Structure 1
Amino acid sequence: MPLLQNHIAVVTGAGSGIGRAIAKGYAGEGARVVLLDMNDKAAADVVSEIRDAGGKAESFALDVTKRDDCVAMATQVADKVGKVSILVNNAGIARRNGMLGAAEAVINDWEDIIAINLTGVFNVTHAFLEPLRAAKGRIVNIGSIQSFVHLRTPSSPAYTASKHGVLGFTKALAAELGKDGVRVNAIGPGFIETPLNEKMRAANPALVQVFMDHTPLGRPGKPEDIVGPAIFLASDLSAYVSGTIVMVDGGYRTI
């Protein structure tokens, strides 16, 4: 029997990269997947791929920074799809600007990154909390290696703060919702090749090499590398796992 049979899974930022890979992986394990993304066409294209492969999926446009829209989306999904039992908070952005740049840019980075990467996780989780509690559901948040450390390369204080916040939110929510049977965990990707960092990789191969020099497995990750851990945390294989983060970083934190 597929590991996620009879589950309805919501995945944010599902139009590309890690979210796309997780949505397809969940569908392959029998889940009915709801793909949420600001880019509704990209999400709809992934739905077509899932359906062509025999899976079940729907997509809706959502900006996770808009709290009222998240609440309305939870109602829409309940009415049109059913009761959600898995939530993956994947939507996020990354900007590698420091604190010493132009004040306006620094402030904009902080406001945008925190709004999407951290407040967005809260908005979506809060909106879907009722069905998740009723289903004794599973929440999977996408953190980062920067949930623990500031990278050996220049990077945004806002991004680092947001991913520390995701890990803290994960632990706090696991403690609060455990009595309801809801498990809350996170995944900490390392350097993963996605459309989000495609331009940076092309423009700055030396920076990519810095990451590789600190990755024992010696290669960048692929979005598909996140799928197995995401299935594990959403399935009964992890029935006694909550409040933790599974690192998928090629061993980056060991060096």
Structure 2
Amino acid sequence: MTGRFDLSGQRAFVTGGSRGLGREMALAFAEAGADVAIAARDPGALDATADEIRALGRQAWTFPADLGSPEAVETLCAQVIEAIGAPRILVNNVGGRRINVATEALALDTWREMIDLNLTATYICSRRFGAAMIEAGKGGRILNLASINAFAAGRGIGGRHYETAKAAVVQFTRTLAVDWARHGITANAICPGIFATEPNRKWQESNPEMIAGMLEHVPMGRMGDPREIGTLAVYLASADAGFMTGASLVIDGGYTCL
């Protein structure tokens, strides 16, 4: 089975690739044989993850950038294409709730900033790298990180820009799947539940009751291990996933089954 998911000779680009789910997907791609470019805000964290990729015998490129700024994302895309050409695998992973503010108290400027982070960055990267994939004529794989909050509102937390943006990511992914199938490009959304990422561990420290309340509704009784996302990402990036497009794959320990 390892050979069927071999990504040797391919290049991947992962936004938000220095930590959490992005890091795990980047490392999983490298383990499967791909060279990987990653972008995030923290140069130190980027360098640390790049060193892990290189330790697996793969090439790694780092691009420090604030993906909450549409202008910065446009610049980033140009830099990546200039450095590595058109990656065959694009993972739009960057995003996050970041704030716990009720809708009635949420400033318009903050709403726009969070929508840019969780949705506009995905649109820009998909547009720029999708165009490069089409021009290269070799097909491609686009993986957009949505959330189970695309389908269900989070309990006991504000910041509803997150649910709104992630729902839009799911539908945007479906449109990419329809529009670019003829170019051999697939587009799928991964919809995680609660995973033991660094932000969620911080939430657990500062809001233990909230996290405990969420875990009560997870049949598996735990947060997901970020490494469990990596395996799914490798499958979606592989040749064996060539007929899967426009899908929204929920990985949440059964949370949305209740």
Same fold (TM over 0.5): yes
Distance 1:193 1:107 in 2: 30
SS of 1:197's equivalent in the other structure is helix
8 Å contact 2:68–2:113 — kept in the other structure? no
Distance 1:89 1:231 in 2: 14
Aligned residue number for residue 123 of structure 2: 122
The alignment status of 1:24 with 2:21, answered yes or no, reads no
Distance 1:156 1:78, change over 3 A: closer
SS of 1:100's equivalent in the other structure is helix
Alpha-carbon shift at residue 249 of structure 1 (Å): 0.4
Aligned residue number for residue 86 of structure 1: 89
8 Å contact 1:38–1:61 — kept in the other structure? yes
Give 1:63's aligned amino acid. D
Aligned residue number for residue 238 of structure 1: 241
Aligned residue number for residue 202 of structure 1: 205
Aligned residue number for residue 57 of structure 1: 60
What is the TM-score of this pair, normalised by structure 1?
0.93
SS of 1:159's equivalent in the other structure is helix
SS of 2:49's equivalent in the other structure is helix
Aligned residue number for residue 157 of structure 1: 160
8 Å contact 2:147–2:166 — kept in the other structure? yes
Distance 2:84 2:184 in 1: 23
Give 2:108's aligned amino acid. I
Question: For residues 1-20 of structure 1, what are the structure 2 equivalents within 5 Å?
Answer: 1=3, 3-20=6-23
The alignment status of 1:98 with 2:125, answered yes or no, reads no
8 Å contact 1:84–1:135 — kept in the other structure? no
Q: How many residues align?
A: 252
- Among the aligned pairs, what percent are the same residue? 31
Alpha-carbon shift at residue 178 of structure 1 (Å): 1.0
Alpha-carbon shift at residue 83 of structure 1 (Å): 2.7
Distance 2:128 2:71 in 1: 9
The alignment status of 1:169 with 2:172, answered yes or no, reads yes
| 1:198-250: CA deviation from partner (whole Å, max 9, x where unpaired) | 32110111111111111111101121121111111111121100001111100
Distance 1:76 1:13 in 2: 16
8 Å contact 2:40–2:63 — kept in the other structure? yes
Distance 1:225 1:109 in 2: 32
Which sections of structure 1, spanning at least 5 residues, go unmatched? none
Give 1:218's aligned amino acid. G
Distance 1:71 1:109 in 2: 21
Alpha-carbon shift at residue 68 of structure 1 (Å): 4.4
SS of 1:34's equivalent in the other structure is strand
Which sections of structure 2, spanning at least 5 residues, go unmatched? none
Aligned residue number for residue 138 of structure 1: 141
2:189 to 182, 186, 201: 186
The alignment status of 1:111 with 2:112, answered yes or no, reads yes
Distance 1:8 1:135 in 2: 12
Q: Which moved more, 1:23-32 or 1:194-203?
A: 194-203
Distance 2:108 2:79 in 1: 34
Distance 2:83 2:72 in 1: 16
Question: For residues 239-254 of structure 1, what are the structure 2 equivalents within 5 Å?
Answer: 239-254=242-257
Alpha-carbon shift at residue 152 of structure 1 (Å): 3.0
| 1:10-33: CA deviation from partner (whole Å, max 9, x where unpaired) | 000011111111101111100110
What is the TM-score of this pair, normalised by structure 2?
0.92
SS of 1:128's equivalent in the other structure is helix
Q: Which moved more, 1:184-193 or 1:198-207?
A: 198-207
Distance 1:77 1:100, change over 3 A: closer
Aligned residue number for residue 45 of structure 1: 48
| 1:86-135: CA deviation from partner (whole Å, max 9, x where unpaired) | 1000011212322133xxx4334312210100011111111212222232
Q: Which moved more, 1:244-253 or 1:57-66?
A: 57-66
